[in-house]
Amino acid sequence: MTANRLMPEETGILEFLSICNSVYSDDAVSQSIEAQRAQYDALCARFSPPIPAGLTFTDSPIRTVPTRRYRPRHVTSETVLLYLHGGGFAVGSLESHHAICAEIADFAGAELVAVDYRLAPEHCWPAQTDDGFAVLSELASSGRRIVLIGDSAGGNLAAGLAMRAKQAGLSNIAGQVLIYPALGGDLTAGSYVEMREAPGLTTADVAYYREILQAPQDDPVAAPLKSVSVGGLPPAFITGAAFDPLRDDSRQYAARLAQAGVEVWFREEPQMVHAWLRARHMSDGAGAGFLAVCEAVRRFAAARRSHKVTGDALLHESLLEN
């Protein structure tokens, strides 16, 4: 372990990191893409509990894009949840986030569609966002409201899809839930420097994923922080992790949305690291963070009308407190 690596103190998240280190090597990005995916799959399997009772799922393509549709036993909302998985745009699949998607759908009482978008380096940008937008467009054509959800690279894709939906005039996006998203921040400043050796994800890792994706960093869909205007975007719930080089992407994007009059809730987990979603059943902090995510999804899914836009909507607190 690097001497200057800042570490959290919560027992549960430290146990999580210990398990991760035994499965996923620190130098994974220096290995072949096949080796990276094998390690990531093993890591995800290690933190994949049984899905909620009564929930069903089916795999089927939407406009040729592989997807998995989850339906909880009790559906209380006609809103559709659209989930984009994390993994640096290079690893991850329908299996990697299976339990996460199932638990969110069950909590929200809404159907969830997970997207198995094409991965880099075999498929460079914009393949990933194009796959997501193809699925989004098909779902939107039904007239049902949609909540966009994504973690890490998936958070980037979800934020980008919100922008593409705005550009295309799709008005039925109920909200966006961005979980420690990668939004195109400056790799030489802020948390990218302070947390450059953070456990679970380093700044060098972020640079690697950007390099293989080959996305233009001045394009607002690829790098939402570079957008000239974020006004008119759907309401957002954004959560970041204190021990994460991506931390300031969340802070800065939440602030920009609020300044533009977009309703936004911001939450930062003080003892969490990147990928803390997988620690939700063994860490108090991760469990609380996941509950806040689920509450946000349910709130957006249950809303009967468009959220009122406010100029001072940046709230540094959980939806649970509202």
Chain CA centroid to CA 251, Å: 15
Number of other residues whose CB lies within 10 A of the CB of residue 262: 24
User: Which of these, 184, 238, 241, 244, lies nearest to 209 by C-alpha position?
Assistant: 184
Rounded Cα distance between 214 and 223, Å, is 12
Tell me phi and psi for residue 277, to 5 degrees: -50, -35
Identified catalytic residue from 106, 244, 248, 249: 244
User: Which of these, 210, 185, 55, 58, lies nearest to 124 by C-alpha position?
Assistant: 210
Identified catalytic residue from 97, 98, 274, 283: 274
Identified catalytic residue from 93, 152, 227, 283: 152
Provide CB contacts within 8 A for 104, sequence distance 6+: 81, 83, 112, 149, 293, 294, 297
The answer to whether the CB of 290 falls within 8 A of the CB of 102 is no
- Measured over the CA atoms of residue 255, residue 249, residue 290 and residue 115, the dihedral's sign is positive
Reduce the DSSP state of residue 182 to 3 states and report it. coil
Rounded Cα distance between 67 and 116, Å, is 6
* 41 belongs to the catalytic site: no
Rounded Cα distance between 45 and 57, Å, is 18
User: What number of CA atoms fall less than 13 Å from residue 113's CA on the CB side?
Assistant: 28
* 60 belongs to the catalytic site: no
* 97 belongs to the catalytic site: no
The answer to whether the CB of 175 falls within 8 A of the CB of 257 is no
User: Which of these, 13, 7, 97, lies nearest to 51 by C-alpha position?
Assistant: 97
User: Which residues form the catalytic set?
Assistant: 152, 244, 274
